[in-house]
Structure 1
Amino acid sequence: MIDKWLAIVGIGEDGLAGLSAIARSLVDRAEIIVGGDRHLAMLSSQDQRPKITWASPISASIAEIIQHRGKAVCVLASGDPMCYGIGVTLTRQIPLSEITIIPAPSAFSLACARLGWSLMEVETLSLCGRPAALIQAYIYPGARLLILSANQDTPATVAQILTQRGYGNSKITVLERMGGTQERMRESTAATWNETDIAALNAIAVDCIADSGVVSLPRVPGLPDNAYHHDGQLTKHEVRAITLATLAPTPGQLLWDVGAGCGSISIEWMRSDPRCQAIAIEQNSTRLGYIADNAAALGVPNLQIIAGKAPNPLKDLPQPDAIFIGGGVTADGLFDICWSALKPGGKLVANVVTIEGEQTLFKWYEQVGGNFTRIAIQRAEPIGKFLGWRAMAPVTQWVAQKL
């Protein structure tokens, strides 16, 4: 048996003096210390123990840590190592039975204490090593956001996104070096933010206030059609809402969106929960651009986009929990590859509007069963001085679950 040789100790701006007795003992007995330059600088200048400074890519440093398995290694981390921290990465590669984790208060906990906010009633996210467009999915009237900054430029980026989204009146508070002697808070609105003297270590609190007349985007499936850039190849919002309800995303699941058009299905799949993942497959180059733009604008910039005509690009993709086919159902071999790749218990959902598409779906139905639904939508539109019903093209939806 290998004892707990790796300690991950959360440390605040108050340095070693702020550590508990247990945390301090783990630091003191360590043979090797790991951390960033800021953390290692907290140690005494007389400390002669070997040090490992985080490298890029970080995987190289983790491999070096693992080489010292069996020795007493201590990793110094900011705040709570399990809150968007290095502890999450390390526990994915080293058994928890070999690790001791001692957290300090997270930046989120400290910020809530400074602002009087309830941590259970705020949206939390990190922009450290992540695209700033992620915040787009969290913006709505009355939302309170707590954001871990990547650096001193992040507050200005967040202010710009809020202003462009129509939330320029939102109150921004930047909290610097929380818990240390140099702690400071800066406040302004998104539209008037012009602070440049910002510490690299900061967190951002946002009280989202929409400008007059701004229409907020719902957090449920079925975003307005005008939320997307598209060329007409768009699953209309009523059908989209039904389709997402049928797909029934669960946090952490992966979707293949085959024939993705402008990406609306995969985007709303990912918006259902930050842990949901999706891969959008599309052959049209113009629509590939629409998918990327829409994903960034709607807060899911990590949507994976693959160019190509199905089924060829599907062969080496990660196994999906669900598959949606919105275009190209008549392609040879498409069903066989999709059905084979789908996880047991997963759903395959396909929408078609042509007779040829229905014939193909019926052949699939004869192989694995499932059920059909006809979705017929009518919208009231002007007819002269009056209103009349105009029918959209009916959509045939086939759903099959792999047992």
Structure 2
Amino acid sequence: MSDTFVVVGIGADGWAGLTDRARDELASATVIYGSTRQLALLPEVGADLRAWTSPMSEHLRAVLDDTHPTDVHILASGDPMFHGVGTTVVRAVGAERVRVLPAVSSASLACARLGWDLTDVGVVTTVTATVDSVVDALDDGRDLLVLSRDASTPAAIAELLNDNGFGWSMMAVLEQLGGDRERVVRGVARDWDAAPGDPLNIVAVSCVGPRRARTPGRPDDEYGHDGQITKQPIRALTVSALAPSRRQLLWDIGSGSGSVAIEWLRAEPTGRVVAFERDASRARQLDDNARQHGVHGRITVLGAAPETCGAAPEPDAVFIGGGLDDELLDVAWAALPSGGRLVANAVTVENQTLLTAWHARHGGALRRFAVETVAPLGSMTTWRPALPIVQWVVDRA
């Protein structure tokens, strides 16, 4: 294996935009990998230029696994560590075997053109995710940069903005940033009719629409469901009890509509969820809800628990909202690592008794929630109580 992979960032301005150090690296290279577009930006160099084949991920994996007599040079767009191939290479072979020479990122160039403060801008990629992932980032008054997959992305974003109540948002499509073919197309999402332009583009969005808090407890009518849904007040308490944190994985057992899983993901944008749902129609509804809320790319839906639990990675937290019994609790408890958290909700007396027994065995906090809502009673109003919920919250020692 070669000692080093050298990842060189290159912008649309090509060779002229590179630092002297980056030029020297490429001039002395033996083999250079990159996209056809990136390789075309280079002048005559002595290296063997090799374009990525499709799918690029498989070709890159083969290059990283292969034995090379000399260092391997890889071209990346802009800053290789900003949604770029540099991150993939480092994760695969280790930082000690990678040298990264960054260029200016597309986000920095876009903010320079727009006069935006990069520290106050949200960045979403559709290069490795579907366009519906942008929904999760929408909020009134927020500025977003969307990294496009291709020339069709801007129109898809405009459609998504309209479908989600953000039709008055301002859009700017910035093409070939930094190059001699740089172009900026501006407009409003609701009137967007620009023809597809250059595939190398980034979309800037100044959001105008409803305020969308990331805190748990969204209205029940924002989810499609057949009645199997953790209601808004209990859902807020449940996600709060689960305490989502950076890069954690949640098992959502008996997921139903997926409302708890979705709000876990919205509360922590780096989180992931494996949802277990035995009913096929509910699983499809869960998938639709995840797409609607822009978190589809971070949730995996499996079948019934505990039968399919062995196919899931180790969780950082487990929520049990349905199918509660001793066997399921045994499997969930065994799957949790030290410090992992389990939250279980019970409605029936039998399941509440079960949680009481497990609480006596393992400790934690046992709480009973009763929620009442004002409702009509004839010509007057009264308080309508929902079924009380017993919730057990415990961290594995």
Q: Given the two structures, how large is their TM-score scaled by the length of structure 2? A: 0.96
1:167 positional shift: 1.0
Provide the residue aligned with 2:250 in structure 1: 255
Q: How far apart, CA to CA, are the structure 2 residues paired with 1:34 and 1:57? A: 11
1:280 aligns with 2:275: yes
Q: Which moved more, 1:235-244 or 1:361-370?
A: 361-370
Aligned to 2:142: 143
Q: Distance in 1 between matches of 2:135 and 2:5?
A: 38
Partner of 1:265: 260
d(CA) in 1 for partners of 2:169, 2:107: 19
Residue 334 of structure 1 aligns to which amino acid in structure 2?
Answer: L
Deviations 1:82-136 (CA, angstroms, capped at 9, x unpaired): 0100001000011211211111111110000000000111110110031111011
Matches within 5 A, 1:147-158: 147-158=146-157
1:81 alignment partner in structure 2: 80
Q: Which SS does the other structure have where 2:159 is aligned?
A: helix
* Structure 1 residue 217 displacement after superposition: 3.0
Q: Does 1:372 align with 2:366?
A: yes
Alpha-carbon displacement from aligned partner over 1:177-226 (angstroms, at most 9, x marks no partner): 0000000000111111111141000000001112xxxx533211111111
SS at match of 1:191: helix
2:227 to 228, 232, 253: 232
Residue 50, structure 1, aligned to residue 48, structure 2: yes
Distance in 1 (CA, whole Å) between partners of 2:306 and 2:97 is 44
Aligned counterparts, 1:63-74, within 5 A: 63-69=62-68, 71-74=70-73
Aligned residues of 2:2 and 2:72 also touching (Cα < 8 A):
no
- Counterpart of 2:299, as a letter, is Q
Instruction: Write out per-residue CA displacement over residues 115-158 of structure 1, whole angstroms, 9 at most, x where no aligned residue.
Output: 00001111101100311110111111111110100000000000
SS at match of 2:312: coil
Post-superposition offset of 1:60: 2.9
Q: Report the CA distance shift for 1:394/1:126 in structure 2 as closer, same or farther (over 3 A).
A: same
Q: Hey, which bits of structure 1, 4+ residues long, moved more than 4 A?
A: none
Q: 2:25 is paired with a residue of what secondary structure?
A: helix
Q: How does 1:96-135 map to 2 (within 5 A)?
A: 96-135=95-134
Alignment of structure 1 residues 127-206 onto 2, 5 Å: 127-206=126-205
- Deviation, structure 1 residue 29: 1.2
Inter-partner Cα distance in structure 1 for 2:396 and 2:293: 31
Aligned mate of 2:309, from 310, 314, 321? 314
Q: TM-score, normalised by structure 1?
A: 0.95
CA drift of 1:69 comes to: 4.2
Work out whether 1:382 is the aligned partner of 2:376.
yes
**Residue 323 (structure 2) aligned to one of 313, 323, 328:** 328
Residue 340 of structure 1 deviates from its aligned partner by 0.8
1-structure distance, mates of 2:196, 2:161: 20
The one-character-per-residue Cα deviations of 1:24-79 (angstroms, maximum 9, x if unpaired) are 111111111010001111223x4452233223151332322442445122111100
| 1:298 aligned residue | 293
| Contact map agreement 1:5 1:70 (CA 8 A) in 2 | no
State the alpha-carbon separation in 1 of the partners of residues 67 and 24 from structure 2.
Answer: 19
Are the counterparts in 2 of residues 315 and 337 from structure 1 also a CA contact under 8 Å? no
One-letter identity of the residue aligned with 2:91: R
Task: Report if the CA contact (8 A) 1:324-1:350 is conserved.
Answer: yes
Q: Residues 231-276 of structure 1, C-alpha deviation per residue, up to 9 Å, x if partnerless? A: 1111111111111111000010000000001001111111112210
Q: Is the Cα contact below 8 Å between 1:29 and 1:72 reproduced in 2? A: no
Pick closer, same or farther for the CA change 1:162–1:21 going to 2, 3 Å. Answer: same
2:240 counterpart of 1:245 = yes
Q: Which runs of 5+ in 2 are unaligned?
A: none
Q: Which residue of the partner structure matches residue 220 of structure 1?
A: 215
User: Which sections of structure 1, spanning at least 5 residues, go unmatched?
Assistant: none
- 1:3 to partner: Cα distance: 8.3
Give me the whole-angstrom Cα distance separating, in 1, the residues matched to 2:71 and 2:339: 44
**Which letter maps to 2:71?**
A
- 1:321 CA displacement: 0.2
Tell me by how many angstroms 1:289 deviates.
1.4
Which of these residues, 350, 373, 386, is aligned with residue 344 of structure 2? 350
CA contact (8 A) 2:33 2:74 kept: yes
Q: Say if 2:393 is the partner of 1:391.
A: no
Give the AA of the match of 1:345: G
SS in 2 for 1:319: coil
One-letter amino acid matched to 1:137: D
Judge which range, 318-327 or 197-206, deviates more.
Answer: 197-206
Amino acid in structure 1 at the alignment position of 2:303: G
Q: CA deviation at 1:6?
A: 1.7
| Cα displacement (A) at 1:362 | 2.3
Q: Matched residues in 2 for 1:182 and 1:121: separation?
A: 28
> Does structure 2 retain, via aligned residues, the 8 Å contact 1:267–1:303?
no
Cα shift at 1:307: 4.2
Instruction: List per-residue Cα deviations over 1:299-335 (Å, max 9, x = no partner).
Output: 10124343432210112310000000000002x5211
